[in-house]
Amino acid sequence: MKKGNKYGTHRVIEPQGALPVSARKISNNMEIYNNEILIDVNYLNIDSASFTQLKEESDGNIEKIKEKILKIVKDYGKMQNPVTGSGGMLTGKVEKIGVAIKDKIDLKPGDKIATLVSLSLTPLWIEKILEIRPEIDRVKIKGKAILFESGLYSKLPEDLEETLALAALDVAGAPAQVAKLVKKGNSVLILGASGKSGLMCSYEAKKQVGMKGKVIGQAKNEQRALFLKKTGFYHNIIIADVLKPVDVLKETLKANDGKEVDISINCLSIPNTEISSIIPVRDDGIAYFFSMATSFTQAALGAEGIGKDITMIIGNGYTKGHAHLALQELRESKNLRNIFKEKYA
């Protein structure tokens, strides 16, 4: 076996010198280098922004979505939506471990794992798509994938169902970042509160703000608002169209005693929501963009245009301990666990 670069640059076909995530095409030859891990893949969890785009472009037709996924993987060697640039993550069984790293990692063939790096940089080969569940952005496949030496992963826990753990690990970076950003007494607005990342962020935010803080969840209609109220994760719920920033500001002020919030968390899967994340935040506050549909240009120019001096943070799918925190949330909260079982497992 040859030894590859720990970051996977040896897999890049074009352009040479790029990292796999920014490369247009990478090699998905499943013969591993001696510092790679071969995975027998069960499920792909496609990034929400990516899957939303695929569904819209295919008019919801499952067969067309299948065709588009297969074409992307064939053309690029990885599952990176060329429109959104985003990927997702996968679960499967370890099939083979390169000799150069087998004594350095806590894995053995047969272990069930979830990759904690994006599909946008993961060499992937799909033999067949077995099932697509568009309501939860999940694709069941027969296929293989490669994890680089630098690639992050989590062993799937024995006390949680595989699909339940997958749903949580898919968005693990979001609640972990919330745990770092949110302080006691903060007021926090969660946009896209009823989705996977929104629910986990809201649960974590309520833990962090304490008795004197406030968590406000945004819903797009009465039905979603009723669902959010039943979770118990929010102090107040607003119904607002995220494509209408002034409406979001108006409803947020009502829910927060006339004041702008300290922090907003964008967990949406659609574009053009940057200003709705920025405008309700006080000066010197924080807007955290976990959404992969976020445009840096719109966020930067939008904040400038409305005179907002705030810290804007791009969502990082990784932070230390994020997998443990996400799974621990499911263990701690019976309500959150039941919601995830019903909606995503």
- What tens digit of pLDDT does each residue of 195-247 get? 999 999 999 999 999 999 999 999 999 999 999 999 999 999 999 999 999 99
Enter the pTM of the model: 0.85
| Length reported for the chain | 345
pLDDT one-digit tens code per residue, 157-193? 999 988 899 899 989 999 999 999 999 999 999 999 9
Average pLDDT, whole number, for the chain?
Answer: 95
Contact 290, 265 (CB under 8 A): yes
- Residue ranges, CATH 3.40.50.720, the chain: 173-343
Whether 323 contacts 172, CB under 8 Å: yes
Q: Of all helices (H) and strands (E), which one includes residue 99? A: none
Q: Are 244 and 169 in contact (CB under 8 A)?
A: no
Given the candidates 3.40.50.1100, 1.10.3720.10, 3.40.50.720, 3.40.109.10, the CATH classification of the domain at 173-343 is 3.40.50.720
Going from the C-alpha of 156 to that of each of 107, 201, 268, 274, the distances in angstroms are 12, 21, 27, 34
Q: Is 204 left (phi over 0), alpha (psi -120 to 50) or beta?
A: alpha
For residue range 105-120, list pLDDT tens digits in order.
999 999 999 999 999 9
Residues whose CB is less than 8 angstroms from the CB of residue 333 and which lie 6 or more positions away in sequence, other chains included: 203
